[in-house]
Amino acid sequence: MIRAGIIGATGYAGAELVRILLAHPEAEVVWYGSRSYVDQPFARQYGNFLKLVDNICSDDNLEELSHEADVIFTATPQGLCASLVSEDILSRCKIIDLSADFRLKDVSVYEAWYKIDHAAPQYLEEAVYGLCEINREDVKKARLIANPGCYTTCSILSLYPLVKEGLIDPDTIIIDAKSGTSGAGRGAKVPNLYCEVNENIKAYGVANHRHTPEIEEQLGYAAGHPLVLNFTPHLVPMNRGILVTAYASLKDAGTEAEKVHEIYESYYGNEPFIRLLPDDVTAETRWVEGSNYVDIGFRIDPRTHRVIVMAALDNLVKGAAGQAVQNMNLAFGLPETCGLEMPPLFP
């Protein structure tokens, strides 16, 4: 059995890691780390785990945990993992970091967008960006994995084949994204109160959302050169889910839908967690809730010569915990789908 420790177990992504790992046939959780609830029962914070988890919450002592675990998941705010990681720890176990600490290769970009000093820039080159569908072989060999963000996973996967194949002009990309409130975390914040969110939708982080450079960096690798795009997220009054609608101009105005279908099929046709949608179906968050799936579809607008790509995922599963477990499976030589084949929940 893979011994897994979770730092930040009482956040939404951490609790989702617990839910998935409890049903994983090859893993067990040995550490429920939570700075806010040390020495308190984990199930007291999440009643859905009553009689399923009897453990008491521990602290965030990464050094001590590294002697007990084979893999450590850090579902923590930006900066914490980088401040705790060391060569000794990485020599004993693998780390899968759900924060942004190791996603960006340029430390100056990280510090500019996140407004904090990076505590461990020496590991940026080594860290593998854990988007399994793109970096699968590198993940298998990694000891430090940067789990992608939720918005970025949906945005990158929706456009990657078209950018990689040069079908679209990357300088024309516009990404409109909408997320449920769990994406903001479990901390008490006035903008996330019920009365603030209910019966409302709003854009936020306009022209400065922190996931923007992550999307640009990864799609820039696909394009073969740096690129700049517009990314605008919105908050919608639901618990889970992300819907991305991305727009880009086709390089060849005569490109037909059949060609685009062929490209998506060549990249994703055999991917276990990507579902390519029929022409008459658009992506909906309700059909991926609670699952590790990403649903992707597209339309070509012949008037504007643009392609419109629509994608949906659960921000807490494929956008966080599920993807982290997918990375763990790869890193430990397990079938990639192990413990992740739960169907979406509905209603």
**Residues labelled as active-site residues:** 150
Contact (CB, 8 A) for 260 and 302: no
Cα dist. 311→206, 306, 315 in Å? 20, 16, 12
Residue 145 near residue 95, CB atoms below 8 Å: yes
Give the helix/strand (H/E) hosting 322: helix 322-331
Query: 309 - beta bridge partners?
Result: 246, 298
DSSP class per residue in 95-108? EEE-SSTTT-S-HH
- Distance (Å, whole) CA 291 – CA 340: 8
